[in-house]
Amino acid sequence: MSNTTAQSEFEAAFHKVAERHECVWVFISMLLLSLLLIGTLFFVVLDYGVVVKTDGYNTNPATVGTTAPFADTALVRTGPNAYSVHMLAHCWAWTPSPLHVPQGAAITFYVTSADVLHGFQVPGTTINVTAVPGITGSVTYTFAHAGTYNIICNEYCGIGHQSMIGRIIVDPERRT
Ligand code: CUA
């Protein structure tokens, strides 16, 4: 019987209208949270601006492998001693691979994924970009030394993850 009384007292307290000081504290907390939200948005916009258009930056994982620009596996000359290439990650390989690049030139890699998260890393360099389906990331690197470099995947992406290795071959600078 005492159990039933305790329960009904609890229920009564639960349904009681909040006291004035409780209302005041809830109001103050909500006000502080709102100010925090407004302040955060203010500084984000201040730092990054308002992004209203991301076309061209986004990719469609379903078609990215068969449409431009990621279907084109060629190294493209973008300026004096500068090149770019679109690097596509998919389970479980890199395209294009092997990739030939000239020594001493600035190579910009645009990286995305056709399926799940992969990690585009070239050991011995500062190249390390996450390949995110739907989004293009980029990194620019100049290979100072000729030779063969491995591309490894540094995000676990399934059963073939550890064998997801590509090659970048840096051809020696021609001196004439
Ligand atoms: Cu691709 Cu791990």
One-letter amino acid identity for 49? G
Please state, for a pLDDT cut of 70, what percent of the chain lies above it.
93
Measure 22 CA to ligand 1 centroid, in angstroms: 52
- Of the pLDDT bands very low, low, confident and very high (cuts 50, 70, 90), residue 120 is very high
Cα 97 to Cα 151: distance, rounded to the nearest angstrom: 9
Count of CB atoms situated within 10 Å of the CB of 148 = 9
Q: For residue 71, give every residue at least 6 positions away whose Cβ sits within 8 Å of its Cβ, in sequence order, or none.
A: 64, 65
Average pLDDT, the chain: 89
Q: Which residue's CA is the closest to the ligand 1 atom numbered 1?
A: 118
Among positive and negative, which fits the CA dihedral 158, 161, 162, 163?
positive
pTM: 0.68
